[in-house]
């Protein structure tokens, strides 16, 4: 297995869980990124500032890592720009279809034992696994 990083992955998962828990416990909000971003695109009265701050924190964390540790962004993904755009559109469509994303359903929903979130997360994961298998093994990775 390539790029097996259990300790950094565990630390990242713990930080995601901690931040999602803090948002829920301190403000009663679910850390579902698609819902947070959707509330910026279609603003809700008196409920936009925390969303902007949350997304700004996500983006600034990425920019800081790029500035101070650019090697963490080095990975071998060899796909065309068109394939990446198409994949992004499919992810967006799936997020709308599933009424949420992996952070909302997978991190927050499963931890609350939501059956809907468990079904959605299993569906996300199965679809992702099947897609990778088809593209890498049946199509030959040529996209």
The answer to the question of residue 143 being in a domain is no
Cα–Cα distance measured from residue 36 to residue 101, given in angstroms and rounded to the nearest whole number = 11
- Which pLDDT tens digit goes with each residue over 41-75? 988 788 899 999 999 998 998 899 889 988 877 77
Cα–Cα distance measured from residue 32 to residue 51, given in angstroms and rounded to the nearest whole number = 11
Q: Average per-residue pLDDT in the chain?
A: 86
Query: Average pLDDT of 117-121?
Result: 92
**Of 105, 100, 92, the residue nearest 20 (C-alpha):** 105
The answer to the question of residue 24 being in a domain is yes
Alpha helices for the chain (secondary structure H): 6-27, 33-41, 49-68, 81-97, 110-111, 115-133
CA angle at residue 55 from 49 to 57, to 5 degrees? 100
Band of pLDDT at residue 118, cut at 50, 70 and 90: very high
63 close to 42: Cβ distance less than 8 angstroms = no
Alpha carbon 54 to its chain centroid, in Å, reads: 14
> pTM of the entire structure?
0.75
Residue 40's Cβ-count burial label (10 Å; 0-12, 13-18, 19+) is middle
Band of pLDDT at residue 128, cut at 50, 70 and 90: confident
- Which pLDDT tens digit goes with each residue over 86-97? 888 888 888 888
Number of domains in the chain: 1
Q: Tokens 């910026």, residue?
A: 40
**Of 117, 112, 95, 104, the residue nearest 30 (C-alpha):** 104
pLDDT of residue 130: 92
Query: Average pLDDT of 124-128?
Result: 90
The answer to the question of residue 75 being in a domain is yes
Cα–Cα distance measured from residue 39 to residue 47, given in angstroms and rounded to the nearest whole number = 8
Domain that holds residue 56: 6-138
């Amino acid at each position: 297995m390539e790029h097996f990083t259990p300790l950094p992955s565990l630390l990242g998962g713990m930080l995601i869980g901690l931040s999602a828990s803090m948002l829920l416990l301190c403000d009663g909000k679910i850390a579902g990124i698609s819902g947070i971003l959707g509330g910026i695109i279609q603003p809700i009265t008196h409920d936009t500032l925390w969303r902007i701050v949350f997304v700004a924190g996500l983006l600034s964390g990425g920019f800081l890592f790029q500035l101070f540790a650019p090697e963490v962004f080095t990975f071998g993904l060899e796909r065309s720009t068109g394939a990446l755009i198409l994949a992004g559109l499919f992810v967006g469509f799936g997020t709308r279809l599933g009424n949420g994303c992996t952070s909302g359903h997978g991190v927050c929903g499963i931890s609350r034992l939501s059956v809907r979130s468990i079904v959605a997360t299993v569906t996300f994961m199965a679809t992702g696994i099947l897609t990778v298998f088809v593209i890498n093994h049946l199509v030959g990775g040529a996209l």
